[in-house]
Amino acid sequence: MKFQFKFIDKKQGSIKDDILSGLTVALALVPEAVAFAFVAGVSPIVGLYGAFMMGLVTSIFGGRPGMISGATGAMAVVMVSLVQKGNAMGDGQGLQYLFAALILAGIIQALFGFFRLGKFIRLVPHSVMMGFVNGLAIVIFLSQLNMFKSGGEWLSGAPLLIMLGLVALTMVIMIVLPKISKAIPAALVGILVVSAIVIFGNIETETVKSFIQNGGGEGIKAGLPSFNIPVIPFNLETLKFIFPFSLILASVGLIESLMTLNLVDELTETRGSGNRECVAQGTANIINGFFGGMGGCAMIGQSIINIKSGGRGRLSGIVAAIMLLMFILFASTYIEMIPIAALVGVMFMVVIGTFAWSTFNIINKIPVSDLIVIVLVTALTVIFDLAIAVLAGVIVSALVFSWENAKRIRAKKSIDELGYKHYEIYGPLFFGSTALFQSKFDVQNDPDEVIVDFKESRIADQSAIEAINKLAERYQKVGKNIHLRHLSNDCRKLIKKAEKICDVNILEDPNYFVAIDHYNRLVKEKA
């Protein structure tokens, strides 16, 4: 089952599409980067530098063409505590500690990709993915509601009506224009048209400039980022302080990036490289640490804007990053004139395109456990963050899977012409099914020779080995023999490797009498 996004065109990209979609993404990145910088407690320029460097490095070297990276809220909420504690440690050096933590987090992420651990994202069930996109859609929607404030107060009266009208106009343009022509991204047209109406109509409404000023910033104009080594004490105490934050930043960044990569894979019906993306994300965060950016990870909202606008190749992300830098260097005056309403309208369309509306159609068609996982991941994403939500969803899904498989083990019983009793085991033998496995055997009433056939079963873990060990002991205590048959090669190796911890020897241990050839010989002699 694939996600169905009504606003996504599955066509192949082009250079023109990549350039125009990159420009659209760059415009939408400005308020996002600024807002997340405020959340983290750093200057807006630090957020913009972070978005530029994350976007450029991951677009060139990342494993998923068309995916956009930048400063994100998921990482910003971790950074705010780091910056505050760093400031308290001495002379307002919280920002320097942040840069050092980003470098360490980047190293962790790069090592994750180097050791090819990105493949573990395949263990994320579809129900977790659905909860992920639903939760992210709600988070994006809630974050845009803050744009309806001015000076910390909710808009009301005429300013609110103007804001709502401009948001609605942007959304209408994005819905209608693709039905007429797809030559230019609808999001870009919406931003330009609404900006022109506000500027030439001299309409009083919140703009990028007023948004930055309300947050305590002065503007987005700045020079090129410069190389600097974080000014902090290089000692064990510093490492103890930043390492937990670095580990959390690395984990949150990788989970969000790999989940977004999977989503873009589904949207474009192509396949990206998770390991390569891990290395690129790590490299980008390391560069951020040395060049004064706040770092980040993949952005689902901006990635969907890019895909929706026709961006498919690496060029789209490269253009977005370079245009963002151009805004900072040369076009800050014009970018600051863009009304926030236009950008909010674009993000509201992203919300509509992100939410998996098919969730409502499958409520009565999927297992209750999957529905619970979807709701759980959605709620945890909104309440806490993506990393906690995904981990919780995977754990719950794994427990449900284990429980369901634990109930499937069964034994078919029969007695052959030699008077041997056969137990044909069906289903996996692992920690969850050992108790039910033990209950299948009637040790007291069984004949002296018992054969346990694993042709349709597999021994999965140490708990299974111990279960077999205990079963053999039960039969030995009453003077009966147990034979194991049809163990697969990997199961034999698993038991053989367990000798040191379970005192098991598949060939010689008298508890087991593993003697397939011996049994076959008896049958021939009887015949």
Domain termination residue (choose one: 376, 398, 420)? 398
- Does 430 share its domain with 370? no
List of residues 6+ apart from 406 with CB closer than 8 A: 430, 432, 433, 436
Is residue 5, in this structure, part of any structural domain at all? no
Q: How many domains does the chain have?
A: 2
Residue 422: strand pairing partners: 414, 451
The DSSP string of 81-112 is HHHHHHHHHTTT-HHHHHHHHHHHHHHHHHHH
Residue 8 has pLDDT above 70, yes or no: no
- Average pLDDT score over the chain: 86
Least confident of 6-10, 167-171, 342-346, 469-473: 6-10
Is residue 61, in this structure, part of any structural domain at all? yes
Whole-number pLDDT of residue 515: 42
- Does 312 share its domain with 426? no
Quick: pLDDT tens for 425-466. 999 999 999 999 999 999 999 998 888 888 888 888 888 888
Is residue 405, in this structure, part of any structural domain at all? no
The DSSP string of 470-522 is HHHHHHHHTT-EEEEE---HHHHHHHHHTHHHH---TTT-TTT---HHHHHHH
- Does 166 share its domain with 259? yes
- Does 424 share its domain with 514? yes
Domain termination residue (choose one: 378, 398, 418)? 398
- Does 198 share its domain with 280? yes
Which of 8-12, 288-292, 300-304, 358-362 is modeled with the greatest confidence? 288-292
- Does 137 share its domain with 213? yes
- Does 172 share its domain with 276? yes
Is residue 427, in this structure, part of any structural domain at all? yes
Q: Which domain holds residue 148?
A: 15-398
- Does 56 share its domain with 93? yes
Domain termination residue (choose one: 354, 374, 398)? 398
Contact 86, 96 (CB under 8 A): yes
526: pLDDT confidence band, cut at 50, 70 and 90? low
- Does 358 share its domain with 415? no
CA distances from 19 to 26, 28, 309, 310, 325 (A): 11, 15, 10, 9, 15
Is residue 254, in this structure, part of any structural domain at all? yes
Quick: pLDDT tens for 81-93. 899 899 888 767 8
